[in-house]
Structure 1
Amino acid sequence: MLFITLTQLVQSIPLGAGINSGQAIGKALGASPLASAWVCASYPLTQGSFVLIGGRLGEIYGHKAILSAGCVWWTVWALAGGYSRDLVSMCFFRGLCGIGGGLMVPNIVALIGITFPPGKKRNLGFALFGAMAPVGAAGGSLVSAVIIQLVHWKWLFFMLGLMALVIFSAAIALLPKDNPVDPDGQVDYVGAYLGVGALILFNFVWNQAPLAGWSSPYEITLLIVSLIHFAGFCYWEMRVAEQPILPFNIWNSPSFGTLMTAIFFAFMSLGIYFWYMNIYMQTVRGDSLIRTGVQYLPLTIMGCANSFLSAWLVPRLPAQVIIGTGCFCIVVINILLATIPAHLTYWAMAFPAMFLSAFTIDLIVTSAQIITSGTVSMNNQGVAGSLVGTLLSYGLSTGLGFAGTVEVHTYDGGKNLLRGYHSAAYLAVGMSAFALFLCFFIRIPKDTREGWGEDDVVAAQRNQA
């Protein structure tokens, strides 16, 4: 538990580093402020896109084996990022590094879900896992700021690679080998191509739109191609695939689809908030990278506590109450961002927003992982981890694309940056308000179970063995 928690911590750092230092790295590579958003978006884009296939590979070949492969892959491309010569190579290396994260996250979740049956121990495990998101993201924001402001940005990537080498090596060496839950299964390569292709193309189109504009023929063409891939993925998985990557029967659980839709919109709006609050501090207020990183500390401190609070609440409150509380906080923090003036002390509006942001991702991610993991059998723990992980990473990245399009159409050609930031935040308000609205239609009862269900054949066989 200790080492897979630290593994999650390390792979969360690049997200916070991209949010806080994306503009500075992009500028050093000669990129425009709009193009620099790709420094942030490239990592969660591929991480979210490859989570589904990562979970399925873990079910077939063993979750530890795929986690180990992801660790090695992640380390190599994290180190390679330090040798980037332009924005394209930087985003390329960060995207490849994100693939490693996509292999790691669902198998970390699956190892927790398989090792600990439903109950207090599993909830504690997911609380530790969830706490690493704010610690890693906010910690990465501050650490990257110190490195980039005091030395050269390349040392950020060398530091990440060396840290990963130490922690991942210990995790690979000490984690016990697990038996694959579906050793006779097959990888649905057609479904993997259609799913990953659809996710990457759709996200690329929206994140590239602020730069290329919707009048560009390739934007419209790629958007249509991505939608065709989505339709093909759904048809293939539902009607053709013998062993689908994403078994559609998991959507039969009451309110499960509504829950997933709500948290996806919540994650999109949350990604918008973090990115635009960050560039507001740096471009409008003129805060340094280090000062910006320090101002994220309320998220780190309260985020840790709230992950455990979420684990404590799951057996005591219905899911819609916990998720709805997180969505409500996202609405509030984006309203604060959408109305914040150019010159105002940090303590008046930015600090309350940062404080409340700790009640968003931590309540939603930890409770969603616990609820989703408890919804499926032991045999599908990889799928459970994949789905929430996909929605989190992919939502954070995709939201930036939608917000960037709104920004470039409202900031008066760059003459009124604050207006563009406010407009993007209002879009996030709408997204989070929709997520909050959906919470009223979620009906998932409190999960007070202790131990595996009697109908879980795989769990019963493992316990007997």
Structure 2
Amino acid sequence: MHDKITSPVSSSIAPNEKLELSQSTLSKKSTMKSIVLVLTCTFAMIVKNANSTTVSISLSTIGKELDIQEVQLQWLVSAYPLSSGCLLLFFGRLADLYGKKKAFLLGSFISAVFTLACGFVKDAVTLDILRGFQGVGAAAFLPASVGILAAAFPPSRDRSLAFAIFASGAPLGAALGVALGGVLTQKTEHTWRATFWMQCGLTVLCFIGGVFSIDPDVPSTESDRRVDWLGALLVTAGLVLVVFVLGQGEVALQQWATPYIISLLIVGVGFIIAFIFWQRHLEKVQNTPGAPYSALTPPPLMKTSVWGRARGRFAVTLAIAFLTWCSFFGWNLWVQLYYQNFMGYSPLATVLRLVPLYVAGTFCTAIVAFFIGRISVVYLVVIGTLGTAISALLFAVIIPSVSYWAFGFPAIAISVVGVDIIFASGTLFLAKISLPHEQSVAGALFQTMTQLGTALGPTVSTVVFNRVTSRQPGRRPNLDSYHAAQWTAFAFGVLATILAFIFYKGVGIVGQEKKAKDVESSSGDQEETMTESKTETV
């Protein structure tokens, strides 16, 4: 039986010699080209996050100029993450099949074109639609970036540094969007339109960097390169409906009891369940010896068995990312509302109080890059998730009369630790246990879970906030309402910490380079991955 298992693994390596040779060549590329490659992918992450915050800071100005009602302004923010988050898995699969460089360049081109167009619109509906197409571009280049970095840097300190820098693009992009967006909106003749033109220029830089720094695509090692269009339709439709409901449930006429909210939630969840069963069926067909070829049974968009990789830690990594993003973005929403609506500070005064978040995010990147190749991932992830949880806890017990430096500053300074560490270590771990033709899909799954967390965290905390408010005199929010919302964010962070503590024991250092003496002892997860993919028919 041992021979039967190891033989297919060995034979599976032979067709990949070309790929391994390419990866070896990539690892020896010039230092300057490697730097440009990392900066290009990081710039893509910066562009993706800045595309959200530049619009958020300009909402008031856009609403006045285009005569958009306040309740409709949210769609200008939501359209972008809705399309980008729900199409990640589909484009991740296409990137693995047809080339990560092609996906990166196509996504950058699409994003640049529609970002430029956003600066010329005259009405709200057109702007909403163009924002959605902006997100399509991000859905293509973001998972491709993960696959590109994983292929370009074999397991080593260089890979750890590359992924840590890539992760820093999130807080840097958010900060850049707020800062430049605010300045351009307030100080330029074209106000909010200038922010889109700036974003277009940044996206063009990503495209140019990709042309010169990303090596030509290596053909996929999969013999069957058909696309599961039905699966793509099911998962995209399901995620769109679920994310839409999460964003609209609390603002609908009858809130969660609104008929269309209930109906769309049921249909969306049904689509996702159908997608999972369909993927399981396709994987079973593909792994059945002698199964007849059928145009109706292409390879699955996502193998359901991938969630069990590394003894289930693949799924746990996605769950930790989901919970951490729920915690952080739930916390972030209510911090801003606490300072503006409860404390009565202006938007600028609130932004100034949030500056430590962006500074800490940049500083944390350097810390993660240094330690991720030296410390077991369980310590890093537990520290990160616990840090985000504690930041919510500090606001859950905050005393308004006490100085900002007692509660606000330490909470804001450590809040971003979780997302920075989880993004870097999580994507590194998934890249380590995924096959070459699964890298972009693994990255897409990770980012899909973070997008869902971004939507669910604020939604659940808003539900709690509203329920506590409904019990207050005059149904007006008081300090208890804000405390309750932050206790919800704290709960998400604690759950992530517990999962990390239980399931990451024994994983070791995810960012270190394998040495010869470590090959036998560290082969468990990789051999499991290879045999799971290549020997299920044995």
Same fold (TM over 0.5): yes
Change (3 A) 1:394 1:163: same
Residue 6 of structure 1 corresponds to 43
Residue 436 of structure 1 corresponds to 497
Distance 1:360 1:328 in 2: 7
Q: TM-score, normalised by structure 2?
A: 0.77
- Which stretch shifts more, 216-225 or 164-173? 164-173
Give the counterpart of 2:232 among 192, 199, 202: 192
Give the counterpart of 1:406 among 464, 467, 472: 464
Give the counterpart of 1:221 among 263, 266, 276: 263
Q: Secondary structure at the match of 2:119?
A: helix
Amino acid at match of 2:498: F
Q: Secondary structure at the match of 1:117?
A: coil
Residue 172 of structure 2 corresponds to 135
Query: Is the 1:35–1:211 contact (alpha carbons within 8 Å) kept by the matching residues of 2?
Result: no
Tell me if 1:70 matches 2:107: yes
Give the counterpart of 1:415 among 476, 481, 486: 476
- Shift in Å, 1:218: 0.6
Change (3 A) 1:428 1:34: farther
Residue 535 of structure 2 corresponds to none
Query: Is the 1:188–1:244 contact (alpha carbons within 8 Å) kept by the matching residues of 2?
Result: yes
Amino acid at match of 2:201: L
Tell me if 1:163 matches 2:221: no
Distance 2:391 2:56 in 1: 17
Q: Secondary structure at the match of 2:417?
A: coil
Q: Deviations over 1:189-223 (max 9, x none)?
A: 11111111111111111211111112211111101
Query: Is the 1:145–1:289 contact (alpha carbons within 8 Å) kept by the matching residues of 2?
Result: no
Give matches, 1:14-413, under 5 Å. 14-18=51-55, 20-22=57-59, 25=62, 36-83=73-120, 89-151=126-188, 152-182=191-221, 184-212=224-252, 213-240=255-282, 242-252=298-308, 253-254=310-311, 255-342=313-400, 345-412=403-470
Query: Is the 1:326–1:363 contact (alpha carbons within 8 Å) kept by the matching residues of 2?
Result: yes
Query: Is the 1:281–1:292 contact (alpha carbons within 8 Å) kept by the matching residues of 2?
Result: yes
Distance 1:343 1:103 in 2: 47
Distance 1:270 1:343 in 2: 24
- Shift in Å, 1:138: 1.9
Q: Secondary structure at the match of 2:116?
A: helix
Q: TM-score, normalised by structure 1?
A: 0.89
- Shift in Å, 1:291: 4.0
Query: Is the 2:228–2:301 contact (alpha carbons within 8 Å) kept by the matching residues of 1?
Result: yes
Residue 460 of structure 1 corresponds to none
Instruction: Give RMSD over aligned pairs.
Output: 2.9
Distance 1:293 1:61 in 2: 43
Query: Is the 1:19–1:275 contact (alpha carbons within 8 Å) kept by the matching residues of 2?
Result: no
Distance 2:97 2:415 in 1: 37
Change (3 A) 1:23 1:445: farther
Give the counterpart of 2:485 among 407, 424, 427: 424
Change (3 A) 1:418 1:190: farther
- Which stretch shifts more, 252-261 or 80-89? 80-89
Distance 1:189 1:303 in 2: 39
Tell me if 1:445 matches 2:507: yes
- Shift in Å, 1:345: 4.6
Amino acid at match of 1:218: Y
Distance 2:125 2:345 in 1: 27
Distance 2:41 2:174 in 1: 17
Amino acid at match of 2:250: P
Distance 1:199 1:67 in 2: 23
Query: Is the 2:148–2:214 contact (alpha carbons within 8 Å) kept by the matching residues of 1?
Result: no
- Shift in Å, 1:113: 0.2
Amino acid at match of 1:199: L
- Which stretch shifts more, 271-280 or 142-151? 142-151
Residue 8 of structure 2 corresponds to none
Residue 463 of structure 1 corresponds to none
Change (3 A) 1:153 1:18: closer
Between 1 and 2, higher relative CO (CA 8 Å, sep ≥ 6) is seen in 1
Percent identity (aligned) = 27
Amino acid at match of 1:7: A
- Shift in Å, 1:342: 5.0
Distance 1:316 1:210 in 2: 45
Task: Structure 2: state its 5+ residue gaps.
Answer: 1-36, 283-296, 531-538
Residue 462 of structure 1 corresponds to none
Change (3 A) 1:146 1:350: farther
Distance 1:106 1:442 in 2: 25
- Which stretch shifts more, 223-232 or 164-173? 164-173
Structure whose CA Rg is larger: 2
- Shift in Å, 1:36: 4.5
Amino acid at match of 1:283: N
- Shift in Å, 1:35: 5.4
Q: Secondary structure at the match of 1:187?
A: coil
Distance 1:282 1:306 in 2: 27
Query: Is the 1:44–1:396 contact (alpha carbons within 8 Å) kept by the matching residues of 2?
Result: no
Amino acid at match of 1:160: Q
Q: Deviations over 1:341-367 (max 9, x none)?
A: 556654332221221023121111101
- Shift in Å, 1:27: 6.8
- Which stretch shifts more, 392-401 or 350-359? 392-401
Query: Is the 2:108–2:206 contact (alpha carbons within 8 Å) kept by the matching residues of 1?
Result: no
Amino acid at match of 1:4: C
Query: Is the 1:120–1:450 contact (alpha carbons within 8 Å) kept by the matching residues of 2?
Result: no
Q: Secondary structure at the match of 1:221?
A: helix
Distance 1:33 1:430 in 2: 31
Amino acid at match of 1:246: M
- Shift in Å, 1:26: 5.4
Query: Is the 1:46–1:200 contact (alpha carbons within 8 Å) kept by the matching residues of 2?
Result: yes
- Shift in Å, 1:141: 1.9
Q: Secondary structure at the match of 1:295?
A: helix
Q: Secondary structure at the match of 2:161?
A: helix
- Shift in Å, 1:89: 4.6
